[in-house]
Homo-oligomer: A and B are copies of this chain.
Amino acid sequence: MTRLSRPHRPFQRLRRRAVKLNPPIVLLSGFVLLALIGAALLKLPISTTVPLTWMEALFTATSAVTVTGLGVIDVGQDMTLWGQLILLTLIQLGGIGFMTFAALTLVMLGGKMPLQHQNIVREALNQSSFNDLFHLVRLVVGFALFIELVTAALLATAWVPEFGWSSGLWLSLFHSVSAFNNAGFALWGDSLSQYVSSPIVTLSISGAFIIGGLGFAVIQEIIGHKKNTPWSMQTRLIVYATVGLNVVATLLFGLLEWHNPATLGGLDSTFDRVLAAWFQAVTPRTAGFNTLDTAALGTPSALLTMLLMFIGGGPGSTASGIKLTTFIVLLLTARAFLRGSTEPVIFSRRIRQEIVFKAVAVAFSGVMLIFLALFGLSISEPRQSFLDLAFETVSAFGTVGLSRGITSELSGEGQMILIVTMLLGRVGTLSLGYFLATRSVGNVRYAEGRIQIG
């Protein structure tokens, strides 16, 4: 073989180079390409009612592809139905789509995937085991579309009577897709504020984005669950953490904002206030819709929101952030160490060193990215308040989309900083870690060194 293939060396080299293609770079390039195509489409005169600048188009397209929802334009006012359709397509592609559709396409084209594509898809789904991938892809896409349709149907019961069939159905579809993908784009300038007291709107939308934020692995396990089999550790962890965080956050927002006349205090009934507190508690991880004025939240609530935006949803989901699992692994590692144990344990399973190191890499990179972006913004936007800039930065990193209202006031440099932050926040510092860590192995074994900590 070796002898025979010698004349073909140039091809071999080419193939070898293709295999060596850095998967996270491919993933990032895919997002950038989608954002550029999206920007070009949004620039078309038929997409908008007012002409967009290239920066506005690029910002909006990036915000859609990364399922962020931060906006420099009013999607409901400035975009035509065609423009909104493009936006929705970018959201689906950037959310569940980019990954699962890539896999589906490859499967439908038949045959085996090249190794580097397998890696991309595997990273997309963040699945350690590769066997169930094809089944998973079909199941996930089906499930996602099913949830989106159910959500749209629920929303339609509110919006068809209000807006008539065509507008009502379009509004329902747009917001259900935007919800399941944790994209946070809404067709009203004040997001869902006018539906703050509507249980059908707020509960179906929050239901959709919470399910979208669980992650494919969890969804697969729950819907494919056999009776009398316990959930996997990962599924239990994410479900319990989601429920726990949402309940605690609802209580805290209720306590903090109950008497704020600009937020909960302005609502009539206790029920309305609890409903709004619930929505405010669940939207930061990382849906980004709002029913209360984010800029009117007190500083303590803003700070709490920033923590939730930083934590985010489940891995391999439509939500971003450092992820629930990352946060909990670090918490457990710290707790274990403070209790004198040498390894963190959860549900009677110890957490491997490699997983802790991965969590360190994700959280540390995330904090550094936020620090650098905020540092840049504090230079480019000297007039904005520090709290607003910090909030906007964390919102971009977590691809949340909540804003205290400064997005459209940012300078060109500021918007570029947020574009990069959204892309890196969505592609994930982890993609890097995941691919590289699974690719190479340490050949040199060094002796241990001694370092004092603290």
A residues at B contact (CB < 8 Å): 126-128, 215, 217, 232-234, 237, 256, 298-300, 302-304, 307, 315-316, 322-323, 325-326, 329-331, 333-334, 336-362, 364-365, 371, 374-375, 378-379, 382, 385-387, 389-390, 428-442, 445-454
CB neighbours (8 Å) of A300 from chain B are 375, 378-379
Q: How far is the CB of A430 from chain B (nearest CB, A)?
A: 3
CB neighbours (8 Å) of A355 from chain B are 451, 453
B437 touches A454 (CB 8 A): no
A428 touches B454 (CB 8 A): yes
CB neighbours (8 Å) of A442 from chain B are 341-343
CB neighbours (8 Å) of A334 from chain B are 360-361, 364-365
Q: Which 10 A-B pairs have the closest CB atoms?
A: A349-B449, A430-B454, A340-B436, A386-B387, A337-B361, A340-B440, A334-B364, A299-B378, A315-B452, A350-B446
CB nearest neighbor in B for A388: B386
- 23 interchain pairs, CB-CB under 8 A: A128-B452, A232-B450, A234-B451, A299-B378, A299-B382, A304-B375, A315-B452, A325-B451, A325-B453, A334-B365, A337-B357, A337-B358, A337-B437, A338-B361, A338-B433, A340-B435, A340-B438, A343-B446, A347-B449, A386-B387, A386-B390, A387-B387, A428-B454
Kindly identify which residue among B357, B389, B447 contacts A342, using a CB–CB cutoff of 8 Å: B357
A453 touches B337 (CB 8 A): no
CB neighbours (8 Å) of A445 from chain B are 350
B454 touches A429 (CB 8 A): yes
Known: A364-B331, A433-B338. A453 touches B349 (CB 8 A): no
A325 touches B452 (CB 8 A): yes
CB nearest neighbor in B for A366: B454
B323 touches A453 (CB 8 A): yes
CB neighbours (8 Å) of A354 from chain B are 342
Given contacts A340-B440, A343-B357, 17 further A-B contacts (CB under 8 A): A126-B452, A298-B378, A299-B378, A329-B453, A330-B360, A333-B357, A334-B361, A334-B364, A337-B358, A339-B436, A342-B441, A345-B446, A346-B449, A347-B449, A348-B447, A385-B386, A385-B387
Give bound CA distance, A302 to B379, whole Å. Answer: 11
Give bound CA distance, A355 to B450, whole Å. Answer: 8
Give bound CA distance, A21 to B348, whole Å. Answer: 29
CB neighbours (8 Å) of A440 from chain B are 339-341
Q: How far is the CB of A124 from chain B (nearest CB, A)?
A: 12
B304 touches A333 (CB 8 A): no
CB neighbours (8 Å) of A233 from chain B are 449-451
Q: How far is the CB of A406 from chain B (nearest CB, A)?
A: 14
A299 touches B337 (CB 8 A): no
A359 touches B453 (CB 8 A): yes
CB nearest neighbor in B for A315: B452
CB neighbours (8 Å) of A382 from chain B are 298-299
A364 touches B330 (CB 8 A): yes
B454 touches A326 (CB 8 A): yes
Q: How far is the CB of A242 from chain B (nearest CB, A)?
A: 15
Give bound CA distance, A361 to B336, whole Å. Answer: 8
Q: How far is the CB of A56 from chain B (nearest CB, A)?
A: 26
Give bound CA distance, A83 to B167, whole Å. Answer: 76
A365 touches B351 (CB 8 A): no
B303 touches A450 (CB 8 A): no
Known: A303-B371, A330-B364. A358 touches B454 (CB 8 A): yes
Give bound CA distance, A452 to B126, whole Å. Answer: 7
